[in-house]
Amino acid sequence: MRRWNKAVVLFTITAAIASLGGAHALAADPPAPPGLQLITASGETMVGDNRQGQLHCPRNPVVKVPFGGGARIRSPEGVGGDGDVKFNTLTPFEMTGGSFGFTFGAFAPRGYTRPWAMDMWLLCGERPPGYEIVMPDSSEDPPDDDPFNDPRTGEGRVTAVLACPADKRLLAIGASLSVSSERRGLIGLSLMRPSADGRSATIEGVDDATDDTTDAGRAFTFRLSPVRVCANRPAGYTVVGGSESPFDDSPAKSRLATCPTGRIAYGSGFSTVDGRGHARIDGVVPGLLNASGLPRRYTVRGEQREPLQTWSLRAFVICADPF
């Protein structure tokens, strides 16, 4: 299992148990209740071209590990970023020293002047049987024999496939995109789609050069680093894909996927279809909380820039009985 010790963030939120309507950052890790818990935090609304954040799972009295995480772009009006703000990091991590959590990152083009913030969620729990986070190899690591543990580098659109060992299933998927600072607001995650059997997932990043409203010569190279969370197949395991949108030219859409009654949404996914990289994901939000405050649903929100084009959006959830 690869450990990541290079997470660079603008702020770190320690484990804070909160309702979806707000966040309460604590100075020290509180005693953690047994089982699963949903952690959330909200960033401050301000002008800028990027937001990055990190949520940590509790470590006292027992070390907990991350499952799925979600985030949304929030403007002062409570909506997304006009199709210009996009996620390029949604990924669980394990740092050297045994710190577990989730990293979030969103970017707008340089010079973006509209104020916005990022709200974040993370599901943590005690380590289930067979649990592992598999991080991508760094450039300093020797090559390994795991083809699903390697970053992918390409131009315009980059795709990677994750897979768990035959006896395990995905509980969550993650990815980050990296590019030079002056171009980071032009790339975004467009696909994080688990397979129906939960053995694999396809992840994709896209840049604005695939949008036919931009210059054909604008394409540039960037790097996609996939992350997978696998465990022994838990009871009640299933992957649910929500309905696909009919194609239209609306500026914003949201779609949801819901777990069967009694099951928990451990991880999530999404897909956008427009053929030109024109639409952006600006919300992947857990909801439909049960009496214990645990999610059964994820809502995915996307938005596109002018001029409006046809596109579609789909949400996915990875479900299982509570551990």
Can you give the residue ranges of every domain in the chain?
Answer: 12-320
Summarize the confidence of residues 270-289 as an average pLDDT: 82
- Dihedrals phi, psi of 186, to nearest 5 degrees: -105, 0
DSSP 278: -
Return the SS3 of 59. coil
Q: Are 294 and 38 in contact (CB under 8 A)?
A: yes
- For 290, other C-beta atoms within 10 Å of its C-beta total 13
Q: Are 27 and 13 in contact (CB under 8 A)?
A: no
Q: What is the DSSP letter of 145?
A: S
Q: In this prediction, what percent of the chain has a pLDDT beyond 90?
A: 45
Return the C-alpha torsion angle 133, 136, 137, 139, nearest 10.
-150
Over the chain, what is the mean pLDDT? Answer: 80
Q: What mean pLDDT do residues 297-310 have?
A: 84
Q: What percent of the chain has pLDDT over 70?
A: 78
pLDDT of residue 165: 92
Report d(CA 99, CA 65) in Å as an integer.
9
Q: Could you tell me if 311 and 304 are in contact, meaning their C-beta atoms sit under 8 angstroms apart?
A: yes
Number of other CB atoms surrounding residue 299 within 10 Å: 22
The pTM score is: 0.84
User: Which carries the bigger pLDDT value, residue 78 or residue 253?
Assistant: 253
Pick the CATH number of 12-320 from 2.60.40.1180, 3.40.1410.10, 3.30.465.10, 2.60.120.690: 2.60.120.690
